[in-house]
Each structure stands twice: as structure tokens, then as C-alpha cells.
Amino acid sequence: MNLEGKVAIVSGGAQGIGKAISLLLAKHGVKVVVNYNRSEKAANELVEEIKTLGGDALAVQADVSNFEQAKHLVDSAVSHFGTLNILVNNAGITDDALFLRMTEEQFDRVINTNLKGVFNLIKHASKTLLRAEQARVINISSISALTGNAGQVNYTAAKAGVIGMSKTLAREFASRNVTVNVIAPGLIETNMTKDLPQEILDKFMQTIPLKRFGKPEEIANAVLFLASDLANYITGQVIQVDGGLVI
């Protein structure tokens, strides 16, 4: 597993799952561009933590739902580190409501970040990735894309779209030895899941065979595997990291 000197962008990389991914990649020698939208303090603190550990990192502000800001993120990474080998599309938001109550603004906001944001970053990063050696695109979806989830038609639609986009790009990029894979987390201990009502959390717990929620580090482990040469022959796949929630 030789990732020394590789360069990665982790969108939404300052907190939660993104932070765990950024840290683990950095610990394995990857130069990490920590993207954030509003959490500047957390991003800068993470960059300092990585540097203290002997790694190299850069914090870049960008709203990935904005096409030009996404371009700025990719350009900043390539300008600072000279190349790009790994793109982790992790940035995501929720804005839940039952379908009959959901507004157009709620739908558009989640689709624009969680789906169009993935398109934006891959679009701008693709030229560099397709020239890089054994480049990787790793997209974070959700098990809700596989099952549906009441109150999250916007989120579920976006995350399902990420899977479809990834499978298509896996076919298109394969000739250039660029793999594209998806990780579908289950219930993970983050600020996002802490906002869910307790009755929903209790209901999910009853259906998880391993009888616990996942940790951000367990998603990061899957990202590390897919980013490494151990996953050279894996592309177009959806890896569920959900404790058996969806079997």
C-alpha cells in the first residue's frame, strides 16, 4: 500500500467523516487538500494537526455546488502540489422533509451540493486525473440510495445519482486506468446523525446486525483501501460500510 507523495482532495474534509479520511490519508503519506465551505477554523486546525504528524496539507475554501468555486478548488490543489491523484467526493448536506412538505428550494439545495457538487469536482479534476498514474475517484454515497428513506427524497435522489454517475464514469475512465468507486455508509456517528430524532436512531439500531453505529474512521479505512494499489482491479463498485444494515 504505497501512497507516499500522492495528492488528494477531500471535499468536506474538515469535519466528521471527511476529517477522518483526511487524517488517515495523510498518515499514509498523502498530501491532502482539505476542502471546506464554512468551517474555516476546523479546516485550519486539521491542516496544523496533519503537519504536526509530519504530513503536508492545504485548506481551501469552496462551495462545491458552485461550478467556478469547484474549479478554484481543483486549480488550487494542482497549483500547490503539482498534480492530483485522488479525489474523494465527501461533501454533503441534508435538508429533510416529507415529500408533500418539501419545497423546491430544499430539493435544489441538496441536489446541488450532493450530486451536482460531485459532477463539478470530477469535471474540473478529470483532465489531471486522466494523466496521473493509477488515479482514483472515490465518491461517498449512502445506504439510503439503496433503500430509500422517508423524509429524505432530495438526499436519497442525490446519493442514488452519485452511484449512477460513478458507474458510468468507471466505464468512461477505465481506458486511462482511473478507477471510480462508491462507498455507501450506514449510520455513522457524526453531527449529521446526531440531528436525527432518537426514535429513528433506535429503529435503525434494531435493524443493524452488528448492533452499533459506525465510526468515521471505518469509512476512512474503506477510502484508504480504494485509494491504494490493493484496489487496482476494482472499479464501478458500491462498497457498503453499514454493519449489515442493508443485506
Of the candidates 36, 107, 155, 204, the residue annotated as catalytic is 155
Widest pairwise Cα distance in the chain: 51
Q: Which of 123, 130, 38, 153 is nearest to 83 (CA)?
A: 130
CA distance 55 to 31: 7
Question: Rg of the Cα trace of the chain?
Answer: 17
- β-strand partners of 57: 32
155 is an active site residue: yes
Give catalytic residue positions. Answer: 155
